[in-house]
Structure formats: structure tokens, C-alpha cells
Chain A
Amino acid sequence: MKSQILEKFERAATQPLAAARAWKDANHKKVVGSFPMNFPGELAHAAGTLPLILQEAEDQITVGHGLLYPFYCGYTRSVVDQAAKGDFEFLDAIMFGDHCVQLLGAADAVRMQLPNKRVAFYQLISSMCDPWTHGRARESFVGLKKELEELVGAAIDNETLGTSIQLFNKNRQLIRELYEMRRTGCAGLTAREMQHIVKSSMVMDKAEHTALVEQLLATIKANPPAKPSGVRLHLSGHFCQPPKVEVLDMIESCGVTIVGDDLYHGFRYISTDVREDGDPLDALAEWYMARNTGVPCPTRVQNDVDWDGYLLDAVKKEKAQGMIVLMAKYCEPHMYYYPEVKAAFERNDVPHLLIETEHESMAIEGLKTRVETFVEIVKRREAA
């Protein structure tokens, strides 16, 4: 039963466009692709569409090389490559609001490739503690709602939006329960499986996904796994795109148990619920702000929250013995913030290891040697 559920998650996570196309064919409704990381899928769901967070593909980049330089992050290059290859033709619209310079370049290139596609931009304010942040975020979501209403030709009423919010909250809560079980050693799920669960939530029909997570939880509770015994580590980083599962497998193969993460294809995505009472657009604007307070993100600027402090707290709460930072190559926000994290971990004598990841193939054996060495260091420190 557990493996069957996990297979469904894996299928959607590894073939997101095929999954969305199948949904469209079965439901005869529209599919709205979005860029990560702050798209309020609830709005698109309330409009009767399938919100699909566009994913980095596994394919080697070919045609996309003629649109963006190689010194861009794998996510932006891959998205542009997919657009150029026609993979997004079945989408009814693409919407995005996050402000990262590479993402803006990708958006322009995607629009150029798909001149007949509705490509909408609702710029989210990235300065998070200004007096006007909430108002501006709400305005952006009002604009997005209008775009969606134009797309489907119908108004989105508050009651329907409220129902979507409840469904999305439930989905997040259930996945957070899995995270809590992982922390306490009761989940029995690998890092690869955890990624599939979260990533498929970005792709699948939310009700279907939620039902599957409920079943999975019940199955795990009915058959508690043995407690893991590896070195307990926290995984940090990787925003728009997930780390390659081969990297996750490699880390675990070095005697590591991942007990927590703040990956976007992980806890970051499901960290924060939307308030279910009152004006739903107000609630979404609050959610946008609360996400950055809950799990700070280096793509936002907010002087009164610290990602490095959050990570130290997370490591402590998870009883992790160290942290591996996975940095997608050329990810500027991460490159800006990393020295703060490095300094904080060094100050607090918490071991951490930085690994730069690439869209193209990585020398896994070389990385493995580094992780094995890191694990030895962690063990020796514990023993000392």
C-alpha cells in the first residue's frame, strides 16, 4: 500500500507535464503554469484550473542554449529550454510574480517563445517589512485574481476561494505531520520520497494529493518503521528547483539520516497556512509575508528576520548534528546570503558543508567523498 502511494507521487513528480496534461484531458479544464516560489495556487484552484508549478526538467538543455547563457541557474535555463521545445504549448497560461533577475530574463525568453500564450506578471514586493508591503502584496494578488478571472471567463467568489484555501491548508498540514514524524524518526521515508511527496503536491490535483497523503499517514502509523540510526543532518538551500534525487540518495548512502530541511521542494513549500477567516485576499497577502517570517528566504529582504538564526534553531529543534547546504549553481540570492549562514554556523560551532549543484551531470563520486569526510568530522566532534 505504502509503495503504491509513493509510486503515484513519484510519477507526478518525475513527469509533471504529463500529469498535468492527463488532468486536463480528463477534466476538460484549464491548466495554469506558474514559476516558483510564492504563487498562491489557491487562487488558480478557485478559478477551476489546475495550478502547476513549472519544474526544472531532467533533460539536457539544448535549444535553450540559444536563449540564455550557460551562466544562469539550471531552473531558468531549463524552463526556457522547455518553452523553446514546445513543452508548454498545452498550458493555458503562465503566471509569475517573483522577482529574481534570472527569472525575469527567463520570463522574457519564455514569452518570446510563446507569443500566443497568456504570460502574466504580478510583481510581488520583495522588501518585506515596509509599511506598504502588505498593501502592495494584496494589490498584486488582486491583479493575479483578475488575470485568472479573464482566463476562465468567470468571477472567483470569496466562498470558493475560502474552500480552496481550506483544501490547501489541509494538504500542507498533512505534509507537515510527515515532517514532524521524520524529525522524531517515525516516518520511515527517504529524502527522495519526501521530495516526491512535496513536488507532486505542486503538480497534482490538490484534493487527490491530499487524499493520498492521508492514506500514506495512516499506512505509516499502522506499520511504524524502525528508528533510523545515521548521523542526523539538516538539508538547506535549493530554492526554485529541487536537488537531484541522486544527490539525496548519495548523502543518505554515507550513513546520514535527513531529519529536516528548508528546501523549497520540502518544508519551505508547506511551512505556512493561509488564515481561513476574513477577506481571503488579505489572508493571502498575510500568508506571503508570514512565509518569510516562518522560513526566511534569501530572495526576500527583511531586516528583522534572519535565515541563519532560523537554521540554527531548526538544527537544534531537529537535534541535527550538522547541516549540508545545497546551493544551485549561479543562484544569486543564495550566494548573497551564504556568508551569513557560514559565519553563524562557525560562530556557534555547528558543522556544515557547502555543495554546489548543477543542472548538468555532477561528479557524484567526488561529492560522496566530501560528504563521507564531513560525516566523519561530525562523528569525531560528537565523540570529542
Chain B
Amino acid sequence: MNTTVQETKKANKLAATKPGGKLVNEYWEMVFRAKEEGKLVCWYEGSAINPFFQAADVVWVHGEAYSAMLAARHLEGPAQKAAEERGYLKELCSYARTHLGCAVSNQRQQNEPDSGYVNMADDKNLATRLPAPDFIVSAYAYCSTGQQWDEMTTRLFGKKIPIFNVSLPWIWGAKPDAGYLRGQEWEETSQYVAKQLRDMVKFIEQQTKRQFDWDRLRELMGHVKRASELRLEGMELCTARPAPATFFDWIAAIAPINNLPIGPHLVDFFQGMKDEIALRVAKGEGAIPNEKYRLYFDGIMNWNKVGWLAEKFAKYDAAVMCGRYTHFAFWQEPGLIDLKDPILGMAQNYLICPNNHSAPILIDETMKLCKKYDVDGMVIHASRTCRAFTNPQYMIAEAATKRLGIPTTMFEGDVTDESFYKDELLNSRVEAMLEAIDAKRMGGGSPSMVSDMSFLNRQAAESAPVTFHRG
């Protein structure tokens, strides 16, 4: 195996994602101007409910997106420091901690202009630039953190901010008819969430004192649906060898599909990605210079390290093909959206957040994806403060080994707190996994879980999929 890190091996990133950076900047500038322009501002986390706000002419702030943007630009420090000063502990979700730090900064600027680290003179302190919310909508699938984060935000603003909670139940899937997008539980849960979304629209109407523009929502969802279809078509093309785009290219395209303003430009963005990918497939051009390994990435993104990781895997000749974060989320089932009445389909897309199906369903879908992209191994990002993503990882790793015969490895990091990232551990563990893949190819090795996961030592069922008690 030749895993020597060579500086010349650069990731061949898609050019089509570059306009994404400009779109991101324009969007946040729009957010920063909101109050001057007399716009209402809504803070929310989790589900992509931004089409509702755009249709209502409300400016939206997606908490994770802001935290991720700060981390990607290495500007998360002041916000996290402000949160720490308030008493939020380091083990708390760093998305939330960063965003709550922005709320703390905002309030201090209003009420205590001379106190705290957060008011240090610093032009780059974006923590203070986020406009305060006029209302909050909480619609978080799976992770209990979402509701608690939003609740604490209202309290930081003195409970003066109206809040609406949309409850998104977890799909436990214990009944005989349960499965991905099917079964009584799925149908009932979908209807329950759709009803709440309709009530959420009434809440938005109360805040804006205007009738909700349903035609506008339908129009916006038309763009979302088409953009999503193009995104999935582009992903489909990436099964080619060499891979024309990687997981990291799809990471670079998350903001447009997740939280940026919607319009024809969104369709153009994903059309551009798909076209470039198709061209690469036709030319046999790969996303890394010398594709030798194809890997699956399980876990949320380490936003401080996006470029770093993209380059690292390129240097290892490893194309990271797909992942739970990119390939199971963000309007992943556009076919469910009926443009005449998009609410139910929107509710269902919110319910298929990559974590909101319990492990048996999630594992089955993961294995299908690994087979589709013909991966040789799995890299698992154990994100220290994002337990929504780490919850099923040992079970996914075990299934990958037992069902697919591929090795897995784990590295430690976090969504937006760089201090949890361990580079040397990643290097040694990935190299060990790649050696295992080489050994397997030469017929001399057996798949195994390497690094920390090798001590899995339990009496698990030998053959998968596991059948569960059906109540």
C-alpha cells in the first residue's frame, strides 16, 4: 500500500459549488440587514422549514447553519466563549452552544455593553451581528437538543419572544408493517406533523399580521423539488469510477439545499453541479487524482475541517463517496412533495432526517447505500457533542462488517468545536483501515473493525439483518 501523503495529490473539487460561497455571503448579509429593512426575523433549528418563512416574507436564521458558517471560517471562538461565560458546559451540543453564545452576545450588547469577553473590540466577531429573533419556531427531528436549545433561547431573551413547537416523533418501527416510508406508524406520524405545520402557518400569520401566501409556498416548493431532483440525479452519477464528485462536494452544497433563499437560482446551482458531474463521467475525470479506495462517511460534518479532510482523503487516494449526513437528508424524497398541497410531503421530508428512523431501518438504508457506491470501507466521525449522529454508529459499524465484509474506522471530532478533533488518531486509524483493505484485496485479510471499534465484544446475532420482536 502506498499511503504516503503526497502534497501534489489535491482534491479536484467541483467548480460548480463555488457560487455557493457567494450565495452564503449574500444570504447572511440579508440577515444582518433585516432589522434595518423592517423585516421580522425568525430563529429556528433542525428541519428546513425556511420555505414557510420566505413565503411569509420573514427573514430566517437557521441556528446550525450560522454555527457551521462561523466554524468553517474559524470565527466560532467569541460565540463559544460567550456561551461559556453564561454557564453552558463544553459537553453541550456545540451547534447549540455557538448559537446560544450569539444570543448571549446580542443580549449583552443591548443590556450590558461593557461586560464580558464578547464585547472585546473585534471586527470579526460575527456573534454580535446576528439580529435578535422576533419569534422562534422549533421543529427538530430526533434530537431532544433542538427543543431545549430553542427553549433556552427564548429564556435568554427574557421569554419575550413567542415560540411555536412542532413535535416530530421518532419512527421506532416495531410493528410488522414498519419500514422506510411505509407502515401505519409512518402514515400516522406524517399526518400528525402535517397538522402541526398547518397550525404553525397560523402562528406565522399571527406574527406577521398577514395572510399566509400559499401560492408563494407552492412556487418555492416547486424550485426546491426540482433542485432536489437534480441533486439526487447528480449523486446517482457519482457511482461511476472514478468518482466524479465526493462527499465533500456534497457537503459544500448543503447550505443551498438546506437554508439559503429559494428561487430559480437554486435549480441552476444543482443543474450546474449535475452537468459538471456528467461531463466528468464522460471524460473519466475523478474527484481525486488517483482513486484507489472508495469510502462511506458516517457522521455529521466537522465544520472546522471540511477542506482539511477533503485534502487528507485525496492524499490517501481515498474517494469518500457518500455519507449519512449528505445522502439521507435535505429534501431527500422530492417525490413525496405534491406541489398542489405540499404540506404532507414537507412533513414527511422532515421526518426522514437521517437520524429519525430507528437503527434497524437506518442500518438497512445505510447498507443499501454502501452497496450502491461499492465502497471498500467506512469512516466514522464520532462527533463528541452530536449524539444524534453518534447514537447508532457502533451498530452501523457492526452491520458493515458482518453484512458487507468491509472494515470500518472511527475518528474523534466535533461539529463546531475544533478542540475535540484528533488529527493523529485519524491518520493512524485511516491508514490501518486502508491497509486492511489492501490485505483483503490480496486475499490475505479479513474485514474487521479497526481502532477503538475492535473491542466490540458482545453476543450479537451473527447473521443480519436482525429480526426484532414485532409487537
Contacts and interface: CB of A to CB of B under 8 A. Distances in A.
Contacts of B453: 66
Interface string B319-360: 000000000000000000000000000000000000000111
Interface string B425-466: 000000000000000000000000000010111111100001
B279 interface: no
A68 B388 CA distance: 12
Contacts of A117: 469
B170 interface: yes
A336 B165 contact: no
Interface stretch (B56-64, B144-152, B254-262): B144-152
B152 A337 contact: yes
Q: Which of B88, B138, B152 has the most CB of A within 10 A?
A: B152
Contacts of A230: none
Contact of B455 (A65, A69, A104, A150): A65
A101 B471 contact: no
B105 to A, nearest CB: 14
Contacts of B387: 71-72, 101-102, 105, 332
A336 B138 CA distance: 15
A120 B455 contact: no
Contacts, number: 148
Given A66-B457, A71-B91, A121-B172, A150 B163 contact: no
B384 interface: yes
A147 interface: yes
B167 A111 contact: no
A299 B196 CA distance: 21
A342 B156 CA distance: 13
B250 to A, nearest CB: 25
Nearest to B104: A339
B167 A335 contact: no
A43 to B, nearest CB: 16
Contacts of A150: 471
Interface stretch (A124-132, A205-213, A279-287): A124-132
A86 B460 CA distance: 11
Contacts of B393: 69
Interface residues of A, number: 54
B394 A66 contact: yes
B144 A333 contact: yes
Contact of A336 (B152, B358, B390): B152
A136 B191 CA distance: 13
A108 B396 CA distance: 12
Nearest to A118: B469
A130 B165 contact: yes
Nearest to A63: B458
A170 to B, nearest CB: 32
A301 B359 contact: no
Contacts of B358: 104, 107-108, 111
A342 B390 CA distance: 30
B429 to A, nearest CB: 15
B466 A115 contact: yes
Report which residue of B163, B358, B469 has the largest number of chain A beta carbons within 10 angstroms of its beta carbon: B469
A320 to B, nearest CB: 21
A63 B457 contact: yes
B458 A67 contact: yes
Contact of A303 (B93, B163, B388, B466): B163
A240 B468 CA distance: 26
B155 interface: yes
B471 A120 contact: yes
A329 interface: yes
A336 B148 contact: yes
Nearest to B384: A71
Nearest to B143: A101
B170 to A, nearest CB: 6
A339 B458 contact: no
Interface in B238-291: none
A108 B466 CA distance: 12
Interface string A320-349: 000000000110110111111011000000
A155 interface: no
B66 interface: no
Contacts of B378: none
B395 A335 contact: no
Contacts of A111: 358-360, 468
A112 B359 contact: yes
A333 B395 contact: no
B144 A100 contact: yes
B165 A339 contact: no
Interface in A27-47: none
A118 B113 CA distance: 57
A147 B172 CA distance: 14
Contact of B167 (A72, A100, A127, A299): A127
29 contacts: A66-B453, A66-B455, A66-B458, A72-B387, A101-B145, A101-B388, A104-B144, A104-B358, A104-B391, A107-B358, A108-B358, A108-B392, A108-B395, A112-B359, A112-B395, A119-B469, A121-B174, A127-B167, A130-B167, A299-B144, A301-B150, A303-B154, A333-B148, A335-B91, A337-B152, A339-B87, A340-B152, A340-B155, A342-B87
Interface of A: 63, 65-69, 71-72, 84, 86, 99-102, 104-105, 107-109, 111-113, 115-121, 123, 125-127, 130, 132, 136, 147, 150, 298-299, 301, 303, 329-330, 332-333, 335-340, 342-343
Sorted nearest first, the 5 A-B pairs with minimum C-beta distance are A105-B391, A339-B87, A127-B165, A108-B359, A66-B456
Given A71-B384, A332-B145, 9 more contacts: A65-B455, A105-B392, A115-B468, A121-B174, A123-B172, A125-B167, A303-B154, A335-B88, A336-B152
